[in-house]
Amino acid sequence: MENFQGVGVSPGRIIGSVRQMPHPISEPPRDEKLAGATTAEDAVAALRAASKLVHAELKSRAETASGAAKDVLEATALMAADPMLIKGAVKIINTGTSAERAIWEAGASVAEMLHNLGGYMAERATDVLDVRARIVASLRGVAAPGIPASDTPFVLIADDLAPADTATLDPAKVLALVTSGGGPQSHTAIIARSLGLPAVVAAHGVTSLPDGASVFVDGASGLVATNPDAAQVDAVAAWAKTASALSQFDGNCRTADGHLVPLLANVGGAAEAVTAAAAGAQGVGLLRTEFCFLDRETEPSIDEQVAEYRGVFDAFPGRKVVVRTLDAGADKPLPFLTDSSEPNPALGIRGYRTDLTSPGVLERQLEAIALAAAVSDADVWVMAPMIATPDEAEHFAGLCAAAGLTTPGVMVEVPSAALTAETILAPVKFASLGTNDLTQYTMAADRQLGPLAALNNPWQPAVLRLVHLTVAGSTAEAATRGDDAAKPVGVCGEAAADPALAVVLVGLGVSTLSMTSRSLSAVATVLATITLVEAQSLASLALSAPNAIEARNRVRARLPILDQLGL
Ligand code: PEP
Ligand code: MG
């Protein structure tokens, strides 16, 4: 048995067989010519065969897929047989160039042409680039890029996953996610939690495991072990029982002494909103609007945006839906808003800052949100990501007012916002703590880097102090106004989905928690076992801990239910 210790980011215990995510396809060398005795005819024949194979493979995958994955696979399958693409490549082969290089160049020209056409056609540019990589893989005889196709379920192992990989990730086939990179707040972790898949990140060495190896994965403790033993087989059976008990949430979350903690959902579009409503979420605490448009080359029209937002609002009539304006940049680039050549994108033009370089996009988005809100029954709140100064908060509140949106708010995910919460909250009506980025920026540790996972931990007492300061800032702001009611401060970062940390956050005075709908029941179950005063004393314990591990251990030791449930 070989053990790999990573960081558990989504609970669940499973045994399954390994499939490694193939490496991205490298660009064939610029001057790659036809090899040896290969004639242009041979190369053309090989290219046609590869294109046919890729087309057939994508088509058969599309047949068994559903939803967004099906759409993506169908569009890509069509592109693989596109006569313009193949004709372009044949022309280049006839100049003596290798089939790999020829399809690479032809793909680039077609993608550029589609991009220049704009609108729907521009969206297909990414499909062409995907197809050319698949054809090159087939010509080279290596595995196609992206999530591997498989008839049987498997444990997916990768360096890290990008948000775009989720489009073809079939949760019926993937039993668990394990990455050698990524941190607890990385997108792999977010994706895994939203799909309810056990996941371990920062598990150094796992990418050397052979396909087909049998592994035990514990998404709570972070252990990945080969050749599972009898105890691990029993642990998997016990988890199956817990998981079915935890799949029920009655929509009501209170501490043992009756203190109400509304639990909301984080969603990336209408389909997730419908699932969240069915799972008992009391509203949406974070609509990541950039997730609705991740594959877009160009700015979505106002009508397209209205349709997307309405889909979410309609799932929650009479309930609160917090829409976050586009948070493009860093690990979520949107071609129409972000500059991919920035040297340090996490500290660059991202989130609200894109209003500096792409003026008008934010106003049009607010207009679309207001139009969708006007024809729905949801209680629509709007917040801006990456707010760093009171001036920015005031400017955003002004834009919301101009659009007729009456409940503006800010995300607190940059330490300066937590430190100046009292002033930042004055022009707006609420704050939502984005603990993923707040941790990354407080600890100066890229949330995507596996080796920094220990720093990138929301249990860091420094992060908890900033949460505490934000709540205190809101109380102080209310006192300045002579009002008893402080403006609400919620949490929508991944910290809210960790049941032990959720207890600490409630103890620190946070008013609502927003998370993937899969975690609602676990968080509610654990919160129901403690009183508000107990949560406050656990919060003090965590705040005064010397480090993140100690903070987590101290709190978990007082919550035995966590181990009982395998959380
Ligand atoms: C956060 O930073 O905590 C957050 C909720 O936003 P995102 O994860 O989308 O950056
Ligand atoms: Mg963020």
102-147 confidence digits (pLDDT tens): 999 999 999 888 878 766 676 677 788 889 999 999 999 998 888 8
Whether residue 423 has its Cβ less than 6 Å from ligand 1: no
The pLDDT value recorded for residue 166 is 67
The SS3 call for residue 384 is strand
Burial class (CB in 10 A: 0-12, 13-18, 19+), 562: buried
Are residues 548 and 478 part of one domain? yes
Q: Which of 28, 12, 85 is nearest to 55 (CA)?
A: 85
Does 204 qualify as catalytic in the annotation? no
The number of distinct structural domains making up the chain is 3
Are residues 130 and 198 part of one domain? no
Are residues 269 and 199 part of one domain? no
Cα–ligand 1 centroid distance for 551 (angstroms): 22
Q: Relative to the CA of 290, which ligand 1 atom is closest?
A: 9
Q: CATH code at 471?
A: 3.20.20.60
Read off the DSSP letter of residue 168: G
29-64 confidence digits (pLDDT tens): 998 999 888 999 999 999 999 999 999 988 888 887
Cα–ligand 1 centroid distance for 457 (angstroms): 14
The reply to whether 33 falls in a domain is no
Does 395 qualify as catalytic in the annotation? no
Whether residue 414 has its Cβ less than 6 Å from ligand 1: no
Are residues 368 and 277 part of one domain? yes
The reply to whether 179 falls in a domain is yes
Are residues 360 and 321 part of one domain? yes
Whether residue 514 has its Cβ less than 6 Å from ligand 1: no
Cα–ligand 1 centroid distance for 333 (angstroms): 14
pLDDT band at 424 (very low <50, low <70, confident <90, very high): very high
Q: What are the strands, taking DSSP E only, across 429-525?
A: 430-433, 489-491, 513-515
The answer on pLDDT for 295 being more than 90 is: no
The reply to whether 508 falls in a domain is yes
- Out of 55, 187, 253, 468, the active site residue is 187
What percent of the chain clears pLDDT 90, i.e. is strictly above it? 73
Whether residue 492 has its Cβ less than 6 Å from ligand 1: yes
Going by alpha carbons, the residue nearest to atom 9 of ligand 1 is: 288
Whether residue 493 has its Cβ less than 6 Å from ligand 1: yes
- Domain limit, last residue, from 216, 232, 248: 232
Are residues 172 and 127 part of one domain? no
Rounded Cα distance, 110 and 84, in Å: 8
- Domain limit, last residue, from 232, 250, 273: 232
513-564 confidence digits (pLDDT tens): 999 998 999 999 999 999 999 999 999 999 999 999 999 999 999 999 988 8
Cα–ligand 2 centroid distance for 210 (angstroms): 35
378-394 confidence digits (pLDDT tens): 999 999 999 999 999 99
The answer on pLDDT for 214 being more than 80 is: yes
Q: Per-residue pLDDT averaged across 413-441, rounded? A: 98
Probe target for ligand 1 pocket from 194, 322, 436, with the most ligand atoms within 8 Å of CB: 436
Going by alpha carbons, the residue nearest to atom 6 of ligand 1 is: 434
The pLDDT value recorded for residue 503 is 98
pLDDT band at 497 (very low <50, low <70, confident <90, very high): very high
Q: Return mean pLDDT, the chain.
A: 92
The region of weakest confidence among 100-109, 160-169, 346-355, 392-401 is: 160-169
Whether residue 288 has its Cβ less than 6 Å from ligand 1: yes
The reply to whether 239 falls in a domain is no
Q: Which structure tokens are listed for 322?
A: 């917090």
- Domain limit, last residue, from 99, 122, 140: 140
The reply to whether 27 falls in a domain is no
The answer on pLDDT for 163 being more than 70 is: no
Are residues 187 and 82 part of one domain? no
Cα–ligand 2 centroid distance for 328 (angstroms): 10
Q: Answer positive or negative: Cα dihedral of 182, 184, 187, 190.
A: positive
Are residues 485 and 345 part of one domain? yes
pTM of structure: 0.78
Going by alpha carbons, the residue nearest to atom 3 of ligand 1 is: 434
The reply to whether 256 falls in a domain is no
What percent of the chain clears pLDDT 70, i.e. is strictly above it? 97
The pLDDT value recorded for residue 486 is 97
Are residues 529 and 408 part of one domain? yes
Whether residue 290 has its Cβ less than 6 Å from ligand 1: no
Q: CATH code at 9?
A: 3.50.30.10
The reply to whether 248 falls in a domain is no
Are residues 376 and 268 part of one domain? yes
The reply to whether 453 falls in a domain is yes
CB 378 within 8 A of CB 371: no
Q: What are phi and psi of 336, to 5 degrees?
A: -85, 0
CB 198 within 8 A of CB 3: no
Going by alpha carbons, the residue nearest to atom 10 of ligand 1 is: 437
Whether residue 329 has its Cβ less than 6 Å from ligand 1: no
Are residues 485 and 545 part of one domain? yes
The SS3 call for residue 320 is strand
Cα–ligand 2 centroid distance for 386 (angstroms): 7
Whether residue 170 has its Cβ less than 6 Å from ligand 1: no
- Out of 253, 292, 400, 492, the active site residue is 492
Are residues 444 and 344 part of one domain? yes
The answer on pLDDT for 469 being more than 70 is: yes
Q: Relative to the CA of 286, which ligand 1 atom is closest?
A: 5
Unique residue bearing structure tokens 């444990």? 155
66-107 confidence digits (pLDDT tens): 766 677 778 888 888 888 899 999 999 999 999 999 999 999
Q: CATH code at 81?
A: 1.10.274.10
Whether residue 413 has its Cβ less than 6 Å from ligand 1: yes
The pLDDT value recorded for residue 119 is 65
Domain containing 278 equals 263-565
